[in-house]
Chain A
Amino acid sequence: MSELICKDLTLGYENNALVEGLNFHVNKGDYLCIVGENGTGKSTLMRTILHLQKPMAGTIEYKDGLKSTEIGYLPQQTLVQRDFPASVREVVLSGCQAKMGFRPFYTKEEKELAKKNMERMGIEKLAKRCYRELSGGQQQRVLLARALCATEKMLLLDEPVSGLDPKVTADMYKMIKQLNDDGISIIMISHDIYSAVKYASHILHIGSDTFFGTVKEYKKTKLGRLYLDEEGGRENA
């Protein structure tokens, strides 16, 4: 069963279409990596899936019990957050806001959920620390815990490892894979094509050529081979 189906999507700003005729779907438990060069509309696609902007054409359907607000989101760091005085606990707890509606305060269950997710991410010892004083990897864990408070169904990650050192990057990928194994569907934007083909089950490549399919299929295509070789060549150089 597909949780998310995108049909004939055209994305862009004002009258500039970045991507046209995009078709793909995400099944429960899938791990989809979105790859492609800069400026091809990866972030625009993500914003559209999250309802932060409207598609220029086409539809996005949420199925299999997934509501459009049940997608946890791990954004890239914003400028505001760099000097925001907030404790880790406050940030994680704010993930529960979707469940609140007009209720002004958090319930005991929501506080429990926040605690559980902090433990899951291994940051329970940091609960009282200030968010802006944490390392990049720790901050990402905090934001992941927040996203998990919002949903147990689907996570959308926008370049979760950018700016992290290799060891922390590897830990982050393992942690995401673990969440995927727990049954959470993952959609991730990534520049790191090797980790994408290593961990993901499906690849969506957008750009001048578009591809959607499993990792196995992707490796066989001309596009995939080209892209993998090119990246490999660059790394060896």
Chain B
Amino acid sequence: MLDTLAYYIKFPFVQYAIIVGVLIALCSSLLGVTLVLKRFSFIGDGLSHVAFGAMAIASIVNVSVGDKGAASGQNDMLIVLPITVISAVLLLWTGQNTKIKGDAAIAMISVGALAIGYLLMNIFSTSTNLSGDVCSTLFGSTSILTLKSSEVWLCIILSIVVVVAFVYFYNKIFAVTFDENFAKAVGTKANAYNLIIAVIIAVIIVLAMNLVGSLLVTALIIFPALSAMRIFKSFLSVTVCAAVFSVVCALLGILLSIIYGTPVGSTIVAVDMAGFFIFTIVGKIGGRA
């Protein structure tokens, strides 16, 4: 088993996959605590469906432009990222004041985008294996194993931006999550920080779609946070624990999927689930002692 691993790990594409996987896992765990506590767990789900729709649009644009060549990866990103960011802003920022409340708005946008995405792919796609394309976008594909070095760099840069932004705004994010009214009353620009949170989440989701596909993105965001909350009691310790949990699970998941040839995304999520159960049991035992 270790031999197989040692054999595969020499290949650059496997190394790329591990680097990108770990970075994405780290980023996605950071804001999980905030999302879970703000009762926005499903925002990841909603946004990833938006990103799926955007991906469909992007592939159509690429087909009509006619260069299905080397640049198509970045072209996708240029379309998917802005659309997802705008949707995130609409959902998180204005969501509280509109007539349609948070969860309903998310559900509406989420299924809407999913349907439109599939519809567009069906009408315009030139691919011979449509259901294969759709399936790999939803559940994560082997694309994590076919990354080019430029994509790896893009991922590294975006991850650094996300982590730096999170650390910089850490105290503000805590304040706005814990008590938005108090934060507003003492003059913190709570809306501005909600906006920043929304943008960071959108970036994370677009990144994470490569790894686990759009249906499973939510798992990467909420499992680490929920697991850490079983055991730890302060915001800082929960955040750190969630990050470590997420990275370890992603690493384990990727290695397992390499050894056993299972789909990367669902393997990682399965490991996350196992981790969650272990943490729950430990939390129960620790709580009683």
| Chain A residues engaging chain B, CB cutoff 8 angstroms | 47, 50-52, 68-69, 71-73, 75, 78-81, 83-87, 89-91, 93-95, 97-98, 100, 104-106, 128-130, 133, 146-147, 150-151, 156
Contacts and interface: CB of A to CB of B under 8 A. Distances in A.
Interface in B7-30: none
A86 B184 contact: no
A130 B172 contact: no
B161 interface: no
Nearest to B168: A104
Contacts of A156: 185
Q: Which of B181, B186, B233, B238 has the most chain A CB atoms inside 10 A of its CB?
A: B186
- A interface, by DSSP: helix, strand, loop or mixed? mixed
- B interface, by DSSP: helix, strand, loop or mixed? helix
A105 to B, nearest CB: 7
B126 to A, nearest CB: 48
Nearest to A100: B171
Interface string B209-245: 0000000000000000000110011111110000000
Contact of A71 (B38, B179, B185): B185
Contact of B236 (A47, A90, A94, A130): A90
A80 B171 CA distance: 17
B174 interface: yes
B171 A105 contact: yes
Interface string B168-190: 11111011011101111111100
A14 to B, nearest CB: 12
Contacts of A146: 182
- List 9 A-B pairs, minimum CB-CB distance, nearest first: A69-B187, A130-B233, A87-B234, A98-B186, A50-B185, A94-B175, A73-B185, A150-B186, A85-B238
Given A84-B37, A90-B174, A97 B233 contact: no
B12 to A, nearest CB: 37
Contact of A85 (B39, B181, B188, B233): B233
Nearest to B172: A97
Interface string B232-263: 11111110000000000000000000000000
